[in-house]
A = this chain, B = another copy of it.
Amino acid sequence: MYRTNGAATGGANLPSLRSHNTALVLDLLRTAGPDGISRLELAERTGLTPQAVSKITARLRAEGLATEAGRRASTGGKPRTVLRLVPEAGHAIGVHLDRDELRAVLVDLDGTVTAQRRIPLDLGAGSDAVVDAVVRETGRLLADGAEGAAREPDGTRGPRTADGTAGARATAGTEDAGPSDGSDGPQGARPGDVRTLLGVGVALPGPLDHDRGVLHRVTGFPEWDGFPLRDALARRLGVPVVVDKDTNAAALGLAVGGERGSFAYLHLSTGLGAGLVLGGTVHRGARTGAGEFGHQVVQLDGPPCPCGNRGCVEALCLAAIDHGDLPGAARVLGVGAANLAALLDIDRVLLGGRTVAGAPEVFVRGVAAVLDDRARREGATDGTVPVTLAPAGARAVAEGAAQLLLAPLFGRANG
Stretch at the interface among A5-13, A156-164, A177-185, A191-199: A5-13
A381 at the interface (CB under 8 A from B): yes
Distance to closest chain B CB from A1 (angstroms): 6
Contact B293 A343 (CB under 8 A): yes
Copy tally for this chain in the complex stands at 2
> How many Å from the CB of A68 to the closest CB on chain B?
22
A256 adjacent to chain B (CB < 8 Å): no
* A45-65 vs B, Cβ < 8 Å mask (1 yes, 0 no): 111100010000000000000
- Is A340 on the interface with B (CB-CB < 8 A)? yes
* Interface stretch (choices A17-25, A92-100, A109-117): A17-25
> Complex Cα distance A207/B307, Å?
36
**Residue count of chain A within 8 Å CB distance of chain B:** 72
Interfacial chain B residues near A274, Cβ < 8 Å? 343
Q: Tell whether, in the assembled complex, residue A10 and residue B342 are in contact, meaning their CB atoms are under 8 Å apart.
A: no
Kindly supply a per-residue 1/0 record for chain A positions 22-33, scoring 1 wherever the CB is within 8 Å of any chain B CB and 0 otherwise: 001000000000
Minimal Cβ-Cβ distance residue in B for A4: B47
Q: Across the interface, which residues of B come within 8 angstroms of A298, CB to CB? A: 297-300
A377, B307: Cβ atoms closer than 8 Å: yes
* A→B interface (CB under 8 Å): 1-2, 4-7, 9-14, 17, 20-21, 24, 45-48, 52, 207, 216-217, 261-262, 274, 276, 278-279, 283-293, 295-302, 307-309, 311, 316, 332, 335, 338-340, 342-347, 374, 377-379, 381-382, 411
27 pairs, CB–CB < 8 Å, chain A vs chain B: A2-B4, A4-B47, A7-B47, A10-B411, A11-B48, A11-B52, A12-B21, A217-B381, A261-B286, A276-B343, A278-B283, A287-B381, A290-B345, A292-B343, A292-B345, A293-B343, A295-B378, A296-B339, A296-B343, A297-B338, A298-B299, A299-B300, A299-B301, A300-B311, A300-B332, A309-B377, A339-B339
